[in-house]
A and B are shown apart, each in its own frame.
Chain A
Protein backbone atom coordinates (compact mmCIF):
# COMPACT_ATOMS: atom_id res chain seq x y z
CA UNK A 1 0.00 0.00 0.00
CA UNK A 2 2.73 2.40 1.03
CA UNK A 3 4.53 1.65 -2.24
CA UNK A 4 1.47 2.64 -4.27
CA UNK A 5 1.02 5.86 -2.32
CA UNK A 6 4.70 6.67 -2.85
CA UNK A 7 4.39 6.03 -6.55
CA UNK A 8 1.32 8.27 -6.85
CA UNK A 9 3.08 11.05 -4.94
CA UNK A 10 6.14 10.59 -7.17
CA UNK A 11 4.07 10.94 -10.36
CA UNK A 12 2.11 13.89 -9.00
CA UNK A 13 5.33 15.68 -8.09
CA UNK A 14 6.83 15.03 -11.53
CA UNK A 15 3.74 16.36 -13.26
CA UNK A 16 2.91 19.30 -11.04
CA UNK A 17 6.07 20.64 -9.46
CA UNK A 18 8.56 21.47 -12.28
CA UNK A 19 7.14 24.88 -13.34
CA UNK A 20 7.10 25.96 -9.69
CA UNK A 21 10.93 25.80 -9.70
CA UNK A 22 11.00 28.27 -12.59
CA UNK A 23 8.66 30.51 -10.61
CA UNK A 24 10.90 30.36 -7.54
CA UNK A 25 14.01 31.12 -9.63
CA UNK A 26 12.24 34.08 -11.22
CA UNK A 27 11.08 35.40 -7.86
CA UNK A 28 14.58 35.09 -6.37
CA UNK A 29 16.08 37.00 -9.26
CA UNK A 30 13.37 39.66 -8.94
CA UNK A 31 14.08 40.06 -5.21
CA UNK A 32 17.80 40.47 -5.95
CA UNK A 33 16.99 43.14 -8.50
CA UNK A 34 14.65 44.90 -6.08
CA UNK A 35 11.54 44.18 -8.10
CA UNK A 36 8.32 42.50 -7.04
CA UNK A 37 8.54 39.92 -9.80
CA UNK A 38 6.00 37.64 -11.40
CA UNK A 39 3.92 35.45 -9.07
CA UNK A 40 5.20 31.96 -8.25
CA UNK A 41 2.55 30.36 -10.43
CA UNK A 42 3.33 32.44 -13.53
CA UNK A 43 5.11 29.57 -15.39
CA UNK A 44 1.94 27.44 -15.03
CA UNK A 45 -0.15 30.21 -16.58
CA UNK A 46 2.38 30.60 -19.39
CA UNK A 47 2.32 26.91 -20.22
CA UNK A 48 -1.48 26.67 -20.07
CA UNK A 49 -1.80 29.74 -22.28
CA UNK A 50 0.58 28.21 -24.84
CA UNK A 51 -1.43 25.00 -24.90
CA UNK A 52 -4.59 26.94 -25.77
CA UNK A 53 -2.97 28.68 -28.72
CA UNK A 54 -2.83 27.50 -32.31
CA UNK A 55 0.40 26.49 -34.04
CA UNK A 56 2.10 27.71 -37.17
CA UNK A 57 4.34 25.29 -39.02
CA UNK A 58 6.67 26.45 -41.75
CA UNK A 59 6.12 24.75 -45.13
CA UNK A 60 9.80 23.83 -45.35
CA UNK A 61 9.71 21.68 -42.22
CA UNK A 62 9.04 17.94 -42.10
CA UNK A 63 7.65 15.60 -39.47
CA UNK A 64 10.93 15.87 -37.54
CA UNK A 65 10.08 19.43 -36.63
CA UNK A 66 6.75 18.37 -35.13
CA UNK A 67 8.23 15.31 -33.43
CA UNK A 68 11.02 17.30 -31.72
CA UNK A 69 9.12 18.82 -28.76
CA UNK A 70 6.94 15.74 -28.23
CA UNK A 71 9.83 13.25 -28.18
CA UNK A 72 11.85 15.52 -25.91
CA UNK A 73 9.01 15.79 -23.42
CA UNK A 74 8.33 12.04 -23.59
CA UNK A 75 12.01 11.15 -23.05
CA UNK A 76 12.19 13.50 -20.08
CA UNK A 77 9.01 12.07 -18.58
CA UNK A 78 10.41 8.53 -18.97
CA UNK A 79 13.61 9.59 -17.24
CA UNK A 80 11.42 10.87 -14.41
CA UNK A 81 10.39 7.30 -13.64
CA UNK A 82 13.98 6.26 -13.04
CA UNK A 83 15.09 8.75 -10.45
CA UNK A 84 14.36 8.49 -6.73
CA UNK A 85 13.00 11.55 -4.92
CA UNK A 86 14.41 12.00 -1.45
CA UNK A 87 14.48 8.61 0.24
CA UNK A 88 11.77 7.05 -1.86
CA UNK A 89 12.75 4.54 -4.49
CA UNK A 90 11.93 5.30 -8.10
CA UNK A 91 8.89 3.56 -9.67
CA UNK A 92 11.16 1.78 -12.17
CA UNK A 93 14.67 0.64 -11.34
CA UNK A 94 17.08 -1.98 -12.64
CA UNK A 95 20.84 -2.43 -12.76
CA UNK A 96 22.34 0.05 -15.20
CA UNK A 97 19.36 2.40 -15.34
CA UNK A 98 21.78 5.27 -14.66
CA UNK A 99 22.99 4.99 -18.25
CA UNK A 100 19.45 4.94 -19.59
CA UNK A 101 18.75 8.03 -17.48
CA UNK A 102 21.69 9.89 -19.01
CA UNK A 103 20.89 8.87 -22.57
CA UNK A 104 17.17 9.60 -22.37
CA UNK A 105 18.26 13.21 -22.00
CA UNK A 106 20.59 12.56 -24.93
CA UNK A 107 17.66 11.37 -27.01
CA UNK A 108 15.65 14.44 -26.06
CA UNK A 109 18.53 16.69 -27.01
CA UNK A 110 19.02 14.86 -30.30
CA UNK A 111 15.43 15.53 -31.28
CA UNK A 112 15.57 19.16 -30.18
CA UNK A 113 18.66 19.75 -32.31
CA UNK A 114 17.28 17.81 -35.27
CA UNK A 115 14.08 19.84 -35.14
CA UNK A 116 16.19 23.00 -35.04
CA UNK A 117 18.22 21.88 -38.05
CA UNK A 118 15.03 20.93 -39.86
CA UNK A 119 13.92 24.55 -40.06
CA UNK A 120 16.92 25.38 -42.23
CA UNK A 121 17.48 28.62 -40.35
CA UNK A 122 21.17 29.47 -39.96
CA UNK A 123 20.62 30.82 -36.45
CA UNK A 124 19.02 27.61 -35.29
CA UNK A 125 21.82 25.58 -36.84
CA UNK A 126 24.29 27.65 -34.88
CA UNK A 127 22.36 27.08 -31.66
CA UNK A 128 22.21 23.36 -32.35
CA UNK A 129 25.98 23.23 -32.90
CA UNK A 130 26.60 25.00 -29.60
CA UNK A 131 24.17 22.84 -27.69
CA UNK A 132 25.77 19.62 -28.93
CA UNK A 133 29.31 20.86 -28.31
CA UNK A 134 28.64 21.89 -24.74
CA UNK A 135 26.63 18.82 -23.88
CA UNK A 136 29.35 16.50 -25.14
CA UNK A 137 31.76 18.32 -22.85
CA UNK A 138 29.36 17.99 -19.92
CA UNK A 139 28.73 14.29 -20.50
CA UNK A 140 32.07 12.95 -19.21
CA UNK A 141 31.57 14.95 -16.00
CA UNK A 142 28.16 13.37 -15.48
CA UNK A 143 29.53 9.89 -16.12
CA UNK A 144 32.52 10.29 -13.81
CA UNK A 145 30.01 11.37 -11.16
CA UNK A 146 27.84 8.31 -11.87
CA UNK A 147 30.86 5.98 -11.63
CA UNK A 148 31.86 7.55 -8.33
CA UNK A 149 28.35 7.17 -6.91
CA UNK A 150 28.16 3.60 -8.18
CA UNK A 151 31.40 2.84 -6.39
CA UNK A 152 30.28 4.52 -3.16
CA UNK A 153 27.00 2.63 -3.09
CA UNK A 154 28.14 -0.64 -4.73
CA UNK A 155 25.19 -0.58 -7.08
CA UNK A 156 24.41 0.27 -10.68
CA UNK A 157 20.83 1.35 -10.20
CA UNK A 158 19.97 5.00 -9.63
CA UNK A 159 17.52 4.22 -6.83
CA UNK A 160 20.09 2.56 -4.60
CA UNK A 161 22.91 4.79 -5.80
CA UNK A 162 21.18 7.97 -4.71
CA UNK A 163 19.30 6.81 -1.64
CA UNK A 164 22.38 5.18 -0.12
CA UNK A 165 24.36 8.42 0.07
CA UNK A 166 24.31 9.21 3.75
CA UNK A 167 25.84 11.52 6.31
CA UNK A 168 28.40 8.78 7.10
CA UNK A 169 29.71 8.82 3.55
CA UNK A 170 29.91 12.60 3.72
CA UNK A 171 32.02 12.44 6.88
CA UNK A 172 34.26 9.66 5.60
CA UNK A 173 34.80 10.91 2.06
CA UNK A 174 34.01 14.60 2.51
CA UNK A 175 36.62 15.91 0.09
CA UNK A 176 35.70 13.72 -2.83
CA UNK A 177 31.95 14.18 -2.25
CA UNK A 178 32.46 17.94 -2.30
CA UNK A 179 34.39 17.71 -5.59
CA UNK A 180 31.66 15.52 -7.02
CA UNK A 181 28.99 17.96 -5.94
CA UNK A 182 30.68 21.02 -7.41
CA UNK A 183 31.17 19.17 -10.69
CA UNK A 184 27.53 18.13 -10.69
CA UNK A 185 26.34 21.66 -10.00
CA UNK A 186 28.22 22.95 -13.04
CA UNK A 187 26.66 20.16 -15.12
CA UNK A 188 23.22 21.01 -13.71
CA UNK A 189 23.56 24.66 -14.72
CA UNK A 190 24.93 23.90 -18.18
CA UNK A 191 22.45 21.13 -19.01
CA UNK A 192 19.55 23.36 -18.07
CA UNK A 193 20.90 26.36 -19.95
CA UNK A 194 21.06 28.62 -16.92
CA UNK A 195 23.44 31.52 -16.35
CA UNK A 196 26.56 31.40 -16.54
CA UNK A 197 26.22 29.16 -19.59
CA UNK A 198 23.15 30.47 -21.28
CA UNK A 199 20.67 33.15 -20.39
CA UNK A 200 17.14 31.76 -20.56
CA UNK A 201 15.68 35.27 -20.86
CA UNK A 202 17.82 36.73 -23.57
CA UNK A 203 16.29 37.15 -26.99
CA UNK A 204 19.36 38.01 -28.98
CA UNK A 205 20.02 35.15 -31.38
CA UNK A 206 23.78 35.54 -31.42
CA UNK A 207 24.23 34.87 -27.72
CA UNK A 208 21.67 32.23 -26.91
CA UNK A 209 22.07 28.50 -27.05
CA UNK A 210 18.92 26.66 -26.12
CA UNK A 211 16.50 29.46 -26.77
CA UNK A 212 17.68 29.93 -30.34
CA UNK A 213 16.89 26.32 -31.25
CA UNK A 214 13.22 26.68 -30.42
CA UNK A 215 12.55 30.02 -32.11
CA UNK A 216 10.31 28.51 -34.78
CA UNK A 217 8.10 26.52 -32.44
CA UNK A 218 4.81 28.04 -31.38
CA UNK A 219 1.67 27.22 -29.43
CA UNK A 220 1.36 23.75 -27.86
CA UNK A 221 4.72 22.64 -29.29
CA UNK A 222 6.46 25.50 -27.52
CA UNK A 223 4.44 24.67 -24.39
CA UNK A 224 5.85 21.12 -24.54
CA UNK A 225 9.36 22.53 -24.81
CA UNK A 226 8.94 24.86 -21.83
CA UNK A 227 7.36 22.14 -19.73
CA UNK A 228 10.04 19.61 -20.77
CA UNK A 229 12.81 22.05 -19.86
CA UNK A 230 11.24 22.67 -16.44
CA UNK A 231 10.94 18.93 -15.88
CA UNK A 232 14.58 18.40 -16.84
CA UNK A 233 15.64 21.02 -14.31
CA UNK A 234 13.47 19.28 -11.73
CA UNK A 235 14.96 15.82 -12.43
CA UNK A 236 18.61 16.86 -12.51
CA UNK A 237 17.89 18.98 -9.45
CA UNK A 238 16.48 15.93 -7.66
CA UNK A 239 19.61 14.00 -8.66
CA UNK A 240 21.78 16.78 -7.25
CA UNK A 241 19.84 17.25 -4.02
CA UNK A 242 19.84 13.51 -3.30
CA UNK A 243 23.62 13.66 -3.21
CA UNK A 244 23.87 17.06 -1.55
CA UNK A 245 21.41 16.63 1.34
CA UNK A 246 21.16 12.97 2.34
CA UNK A 247 18.79 13.69 5.21
CA UNK A 248 16.56 10.94 6.55
CA UNK A 249 13.61 11.92 8.71
CA UNK A 250 12.36 8.41 9.32
CA UNK A 251 8.76 8.88 8.24
CA UNK A 252 7.54 8.72 4.63
CA UNK A 253 5.60 11.99 4.84
CA UNK A 254 8.56 13.74 6.47
CA UNK A 255 10.83 12.59 3.66
CA UNK A 256 8.45 13.91 1.00
CA UNK A 257 8.17 17.25 2.80
CA UNK A 258 11.94 17.46 3.10
CA UNK A 259 12.34 16.63 -0.58
CA UNK A 260 9.96 19.41 -1.65
CA UNK A 261 11.73 21.82 0.67
CA UNK A 262 15.15 20.87 -0.70
CA UNK A 263 14.00 21.33 -4.31
CA UNK A 264 12.77 24.83 -3.50
CA UNK A 265 16.07 25.53 -1.75
CA UNK A 266 17.88 24.41 -4.92
CA UNK A 267 15.73 26.74 -7.04
CA UNK A 268 16.64 29.62 -4.71
CA UNK A 269 20.33 28.66 -5.00
CA UNK A 270 20.12 28.66 -8.80
CA UNK A 271 18.36 32.04 -8.64
CA UNK A 272 21.13 33.43 -6.44
CA UNK A 273 23.82 32.16 -8.83
CA UNK A 274 21.98 33.77 -11.73
CA UNK A 275 21.67 37.06 -9.88
CA UNK A 276 25.30 37.37 -8.83
CA UNK A 277 26.98 36.06 -11.99
CA UNK A 278 27.14 37.34 -15.52
CA UNK A 279 26.91 35.09 -18.52
CA UNK A 280 30.32 33.73 -19.49
CA UNK A 281 31.88 34.49 -22.82
CA UNK A 282 31.30 31.58 -25.19
CA UNK A 283 35.01 30.72 -25.35
CA UNK A 284 35.16 30.37 -21.57
CA UNK A 285 32.30 27.87 -21.38
CA UNK A 286 34.29 24.80 -22.54
CA UNK A 287 36.94 25.71 -19.98
CA UNK A 288 34.41 25.60 -17.13
CA UNK A 289 32.95 22.33 -18.40
CA UNK A 290 36.41 20.77 -18.64
CA UNK A 291 37.01 21.98 -15.09
CA UNK A 292 33.81 20.16 -14.04
CA UNK A 293 35.10 17.01 -15.72
CA UNK A 294 38.44 17.33 -13.94
CA UNK A 295 36.68 17.81 -10.60
CA UNK A 296 34.49 14.74 -10.95
CA UNK A 297 37.36 12.66 -12.36
CA UNK A 298 39.47 13.66 -9.40
CA UNK A 299 36.71 12.68 -6.98
CA UNK A 300 36.48 9.30 -8.72
CA UNK A 301 40.22 8.89 -8.36
CA UNK A 302 40.01 9.55 -4.62
CA UNK A 303 37.15 7.11 -4.17
CA UNK A 304 38.75 4.35 -6.24
CA UNK A 305 41.97 4.59 -4.29
Chain B
Protein backbone atom coordinates (compact mmCIF):
# COMPACT_ATOMS: atom_id res chain seq x y z
CA UNK B 1 0.00 0.00 0.00
CA UNK B 2 1.35 3.42 -0.77
CA UNK B 3 0.75 6.96 0.33
CA UNK B 4 -1.20 7.84 -2.84
CA UNK B 5 -3.97 5.50 -1.69
CA UNK B 6 -3.95 7.18 1.70
CA UNK B 7 -4.29 10.64 0.11
CA UNK B 8 -7.23 9.39 -1.94
CA UNK B 9 -8.87 8.02 1.20
CA UNK B 10 -8.47 11.43 2.82
CA UNK B 11 -10.25 12.88 -0.20
CA UNK B 12 -13.03 10.32 0.27
CA UNK B 13 -13.46 11.42 3.89
CA UNK B 14 -13.52 15.06 2.79
CA UNK B 15 -16.32 14.25 0.37
CA UNK B 16 -18.22 12.85 3.37
CA UNK B 17 -18.12 16.32 4.88
CA UNK B 18 -19.22 17.89 1.60
CA UNK B 19 -22.25 15.59 1.53
CA UNK B 20 -23.03 16.42 5.16
CA UNK B 21 -22.70 20.16 4.74
CA UNK B 22 -24.33 20.95 1.42
CA UNK B 23 -28.01 21.46 0.90
CA UNK B 24 -28.03 21.33 -2.88
CA UNK B 25 -29.03 17.87 -4.02
CA UNK B 26 -27.36 18.09 -7.43
CA UNK B 27 -24.09 18.96 -5.72
CA UNK B 28 -24.46 16.06 -3.26
CA UNK B 29 -25.08 13.66 -6.13
CA UNK B 30 -21.96 14.87 -7.93
CA UNK B 31 -19.96 14.51 -4.72
CA UNK B 32 -21.12 10.94 -4.21
CA UNK B 33 -20.34 10.17 -7.85
CA UNK B 34 -16.82 11.54 -7.37
CA UNK B 35 -16.47 9.45 -4.25
CA UNK B 36 -17.53 6.37 -6.22
CA UNK B 37 -14.99 7.11 -8.95
CA UNK B 38 -12.17 7.50 -6.43
CA UNK B 39 -13.18 4.25 -4.79
CA UNK B 40 -13.28 2.57 -8.17
CA UNK B 41 -9.70 3.62 -8.85
CA UNK B 42 -8.43 2.50 -5.44
CA UNK B 43 -8.25 -1.28 -5.99
CA UNK B 44 -6.11 -0.68 -9.07
CA UNK B 45 -3.66 1.37 -7.01
CA UNK B 46 -3.46 -0.99 -4.07
CA UNK B 47 -3.24 -4.38 -5.73
CA UNK B 48 -1.04 -5.61 -8.59
CA UNK B 49 -2.63 -5.73 -12.03
CA UNK B 50 -4.86 -8.62 -13.05
CA UNK B 51 -7.75 -8.98 -15.51
CA UNK B 52 -10.10 -9.73 -12.67
CA UNK B 53 -9.14 -6.41 -11.09
CA UNK B 54 -9.47 -4.49 -14.35
CA UNK B 55 -12.97 -5.91 -14.82
CA UNK B 56 -14.04 -4.90 -11.33
CA UNK B 57 -12.60 -1.41 -11.75
CA UNK B 58 -14.41 -0.87 -15.04
CA UNK B 59 -17.72 -2.09 -13.61
CA UNK B 60 -17.43 0.08 -10.51
CA UNK B 61 -16.52 3.19 -12.50
CA UNK B 62 -19.44 2.60 -14.83
CA UNK B 63 -21.95 1.88 -12.07
CA UNK B 64 -20.95 4.37 -9.40
CA UNK B 65 -19.64 7.13 -11.64
CA UNK B 66 -22.24 7.13 -14.39
CA UNK B 67 -25.33 4.99 -14.08
CA UNK B 68 -26.30 5.56 -10.44
CA UNK B 69 -25.78 9.35 -10.48
CA UNK B 70 -27.75 9.50 -13.71
CA UNK B 71 -30.61 7.50 -12.16
CA UNK B 72 -30.77 9.73 -9.09
CA UNK B 73 -30.50 12.89 -11.16
CA UNK B 74 -33.36 11.65 -13.26
CA UNK B 75 -35.44 11.04 -10.14
CA UNK B 76 -34.65 14.54 -8.81
CA UNK B 77 -35.62 16.12 -12.08
CA UNK B 78 -38.92 14.27 -12.23
CA UNK B 79 -39.74 15.04 -8.60
CA UNK B 80 -38.73 18.67 -9.26
CA UNK B 81 -36.77 19.33 -6.11
CA UNK B 82 -33.46 21.15 -5.89
CA UNK B 83 -32.53 21.21 -2.25
CA UNK B 84 -33.17 19.55 1.07
CA UNK B 85 -35.14 22.25 2.83
CA UNK B 86 -35.64 21.23 6.42
CA UNK B 87 -33.48 18.37 7.65
CA UNK B 88 -34.33 16.95 11.09
CA UNK B 89 -30.94 18.13 12.32
CA UNK B 90 -29.31 21.30 10.95
CA UNK B 91 -26.33 21.34 8.61
CA UNK B 92 -23.84 22.81 11.05
CA UNK B 93 -24.81 20.23 13.67
CA UNK B 94 -24.52 17.31 11.28
CA UNK B 95 -21.18 18.64 10.06
CA UNK B 96 -19.89 18.74 13.64
CA UNK B 97 -21.39 15.32 14.36
CA UNK B 98 -19.64 14.04 11.24
CA UNK B 99 -16.33 15.39 12.54
CA UNK B 100 -16.91 13.71 15.91
CA UNK B 101 -17.82 10.43 14.20
CA UNK B 102 -14.70 10.60 12.06
CA UNK B 103 -12.55 11.14 15.13
CA UNK B 104 -14.30 8.22 16.84
CA UNK B 105 -13.71 6.06 13.78
CA UNK B 106 -9.98 6.70 14.12
CA UNK B 107 -10.04 5.81 17.81
CA UNK B 108 -12.13 2.71 17.19
CA UNK B 109 -9.90 1.49 14.35
CA UNK B 110 -6.91 1.66 16.69
CA UNK B 111 -8.61 -0.84 18.98
CA UNK B 112 -9.71 -3.35 16.37
CA UNK B 113 -7.68 -6.57 16.26
CA UNK B 114 -6.50 -6.08 12.68
CA UNK B 115 -3.89 -8.02 10.76
CA UNK B 116 -0.47 -6.41 11.28
CA UNK B 117 -0.29 -5.61 7.56
CA UNK B 118 -3.45 -3.52 7.80
CA UNK B 119 -2.64 -1.76 11.03
CA UNK B 120 -1.09 1.43 9.69
CA UNK B 121 -3.43 2.00 6.80
CA UNK B 122 -6.14 4.59 6.57
CA UNK B 123 -8.50 2.03 5.07
CA UNK B 124 -10.26 0.89 8.23
CA UNK B 125 -10.85 4.34 9.82
CA UNK B 126 -11.92 5.74 6.44
CA UNK B 127 -14.34 2.86 6.01
CA UNK B 128 -15.90 3.30 9.45
CA UNK B 129 -16.07 7.08 9.07
CA UNK B 130 -17.81 6.77 5.70
CA UNK B 131 -20.24 4.20 7.10
CA UNK B 132 -21.15 6.47 9.98
CA UNK B 133 -21.55 9.44 7.63
CA UNK B 134 -23.95 7.37 5.57
CA UNK B 135 -25.97 6.56 8.69
CA UNK B 136 -25.98 10.20 9.67
CA UNK B 137 -27.33 11.32 6.29
CA UNK B 138 -29.89 8.51 6.28
CA UNK B 139 -31.24 9.43 9.70
CA UNK B 140 -31.13 13.22 9.64
CA UNK B 141 -32.53 14.05 6.21
CA UNK B 142 -36.19 14.24 5.36
CA UNK B 143 -36.28 13.89 1.61
CA UNK B 144 -36.24 10.43 0.09
CA UNK B 145 -33.52 11.43 -2.39
CA UNK B 146 -31.19 12.60 0.37
CA UNK B 147 -31.76 9.24 2.00
CA UNK B 148 -30.77 7.45 -1.19
CA UNK B 149 -27.57 9.52 -1.15
CA UNK B 150 -26.99 8.48 2.45
CA UNK B 151 -27.51 4.86 1.46
CA UNK B 152 -24.90 5.24 -1.29
CA UNK B 153 -22.38 6.75 1.10
CA UNK B 154 -23.05 3.86 3.47
CA UNK B 155 -22.38 1.38 0.68
CA UNK B 156 -19.18 3.22 -0.22
CA UNK B 157 -18.03 2.71 3.37
CA UNK B 158 -18.64 -1.01 3.12
CA UNK B 159 -16.81 -1.04 -0.19
CA UNK B 160 -13.72 0.59 1.37
CA UNK B 161 -13.63 -2.19 3.93
CA UNK B 162 -13.84 -4.69 1.11
CA UNK B 163 -10.70 -3.16 -0.43
CA UNK B 164 -8.64 -5.14 2.04
CA UNK B 165 -10.12 -8.33 0.63
CA UNK B 166 -10.34 -7.65 -3.09
CA UNK B 167 -7.95 -10.42 -4.03
CA UNK B 168 -9.79 -12.98 -1.95
CA UNK B 169 -13.16 -11.98 -3.34
CA UNK B 170 -14.40 -13.70 -6.48
CA UNK B 171 -15.72 -11.64 -9.38
CA UNK B 172 -19.21 -13.03 -9.00
CA UNK B 173 -19.60 -11.67 -5.47
CA UNK B 174 -18.40 -8.20 -6.51
CA UNK B 175 -20.68 -8.19 -9.51
CA UNK B 176 -23.56 -9.37 -7.36
CA UNK B 177 -23.08 -6.53 -4.88
CA UNK B 178 -22.90 -3.95 -7.66
CA UNK B 179 -26.01 -5.36 -9.30
CA UNK B 180 -27.87 -5.29 -5.97
CA UNK B 181 -26.88 -1.68 -5.49
CA UNK B 182 -27.94 -0.77 -9.00
CA UNK B 183 -31.31 -2.46 -8.66
CA UNK B 184 -31.76 -0.90 -5.22
CA UNK B 185 -31.20 2.59 -6.60
CA UNK B 186 -33.42 1.86 -9.56
CA UNK B 187 -36.27 0.72 -7.33
CA UNK B 188 -35.76 3.69 -5.02
CA UNK B 189 -35.92 6.01 -8.02
CA UNK B 190 -39.28 4.54 -9.01
CA UNK B 191 -40.52 4.70 -5.41
CA UNK B 192 -39.49 8.35 -5.15
CA UNK B 193 -41.35 9.15 -8.33
CA UNK B 194 -44.41 7.36 -7.05
CA UNK B 195 -44.30 9.18 -3.71
CA UNK B 196 -43.91 12.58 -5.33
CA UNK B 197 -46.64 11.70 -7.80
CA UNK B 198 -49.12 10.64 -5.10
CA UNK B 199 -48.42 13.17 -2.36
CA UNK B 200 -46.79 16.05 -4.27
CA UNK B 201 -43.88 15.88 -1.80
CA UNK B 202 -41.15 13.39 -1.07
CA UNK B 203 -40.91 14.14 2.60
CA UNK B 204 -40.64 10.67 4.11
CA UNK B 205 -41.61 11.81 7.59
CA UNK B 206 -45.15 12.24 6.29
CA UNK B 207 -45.30 8.53 5.50
CA UNK B 208 -45.49 7.74 9.21
CA UNK B 209 -48.83 9.50 9.27
CA UNK B 210 -50.30 6.80 7.03
CA UNK B 211 -52.50 4.61 9.22
CA UNK B 212 -55.36 2.23 8.85
CA UNK B 213 -58.70 3.76 9.53
CA UNK B 214 -59.95 2.62 12.89
A binding-site residues for B, Cβ under 8 Å: 172, 174-176, 179, 286-287, 290-291, 293-295, 297-298, 301-302, 305
Question: Are B103 and A301 within 8 A (Cβ)?
Answer: yes
Residues of the A chain whose Cβ atoms lie less than 8 Å from the Cβ of B99: 293-294, 297-298
Closest to A305 in B: B106
Q: How many Å from the CB of B204 to the closest CB on chain A?
A: 24
Task: Kindly identify, within residues 11 to 37 of chain B, every residue whose CB is under 8 Å from any CB belonging to chain A.
Answer: 11, 13-14, 17, 21
Comparing B70-78, B89-97, B136-144, B148-156, the segment that makes contact with chain A is B89-97
Question: Are A294 and B96 within 8 A (Cβ)?
Answer: yes
Q: How many Å from the CB of A288 to the closest CB on chain B?
A: 9
Q: Tell me, in angstroms, the Cα distance from A287 to B90 when the chains sit together.
A: 10
Flag whether B6 is at the interface (Cβ < 8 A).
yes
Question: Are B95 and A291 within 8 A (Cβ)?
Answer: yes
Question: Are B92 and A179 within 8 A (Cβ)?
Answer: no
Q: How many Å from the CB of A216 to the closest CB on chain B?
A: 33
Residues of the B chain whose Cβ atoms lie less than 8 Å from the Cβ of A290: 92, 95-96
Q: How many Å from the CB of B18 to the closest CB on chain A?
A: 9
Q: A179-B14, A287-B92, A298-B14 are in contact. List 16 more A-B contacts (CB 8 A).
A: A172-B3, A174-B7, A175-B7, A175-B10, A287-B21, A287-B91, A290-B96, A293-B99, A294-B17, A294-B98, A295-B17, A297-B103, A298-B13, A301-B103, A302-B10, A305-B106
Q: Tell me, in angstroms, the Cα distance from A79 to B99 when the chains sit together.
A: 31
Closest to B96 in A: A290
Residues of the B chain whose Cβ atoms lie less than 8 Å from the Cβ of A297: 99, 103
Residues of the A chain whose Cβ atoms lie less than 8 Å from the Cβ of B3: 172
Q: How many Å from the CB of A287 to the closest CB on chain B?
A: 6
Closest to B21 in A: A291
Question: Are A294 and B106 within 8 A (Cβ)?
Answer: no
Residues of the B chain whose Cβ atoms lie less than 8 Å from the Cβ of A298: 13-14, 17, 99, 102
Closest 9 CB pairs of A and B: A175-B10, A294-B99, A175-B7, A290-B92, A287-B92, A290-B95, A297-B99, A301-B106, A301-B103
Q: How many Å from the CB of B125 to the closest CB on chain A?
A: 8
Closest to B11 in A: A175
Q: Tell me, in angstroms, the Cα distance from A174 to B5 when the chains sit together.
A: 12
Taking each of B99, B102, B106, which has the highest tally of chain A beta carbons within 10 Å of its own beta carbon?
Answer: B99
Task: Kindly identify, within residues 90 to 117 of chain B, every residue whose CB is under 8 Å from any CB belonging to chain A.
Answer: 91-92, 95-96, 98-99, 102-103, 106
Q: Tell me, in angstroms, the Cα distance from A174 to B11 when the chains sit together.
A: 11
Q: How many Å from the CB of A284 to the closest CB on chain B?
A: 10
Question: Are A176 and B98 within 8 A (Cβ)?
Answer: no
Q: How many Å from the CB of A285 to the closest CB on chain B?
A: 11
Residues of the B chain whose Cβ atoms lie less than 8 Å from the Cβ of A172: 3
Residues of the A chain whose Cβ atoms lie less than 8 Å from the Cβ of B21: 287, 291
Residues of the A chain whose Cβ atoms lie less than 8 Å from the Cβ of B7: 174-175
Closest to A176 in B: B10
Closest to B125 in A: A305
Name 25 interchain pairs, CB-CB below 8 A, sorted by A: A175-B6, A175-B7, A175-B11, A176-B10, A179-B14, A287-B21, A287-B91, A291-B21, A291-B95, A293-B99, A294-B17, A294-B95, A294-B98, A294-B99, A295-B17, A297-B99, A298-B13, A298-B14, A298-B99, A298-B102, A301-B102, A301-B103, A301-B106, A302-B10, A305-B106
Q: Tell me, in angstroms, the Cα distance from A297 to B14 when the chains sit together.
A: 12
Q: Tell me, in angstroms, the Cα distance from A174 to B2 when the chains sit together.
A: 13
Taking each of A176, A179, A291, A295, which has the highest tally of chain B beta carbons within 10 Å of its own beta carbon?
Answer: A291
Q: How many Å from the CB of A188 to the closest CB on chain B?
A: 20
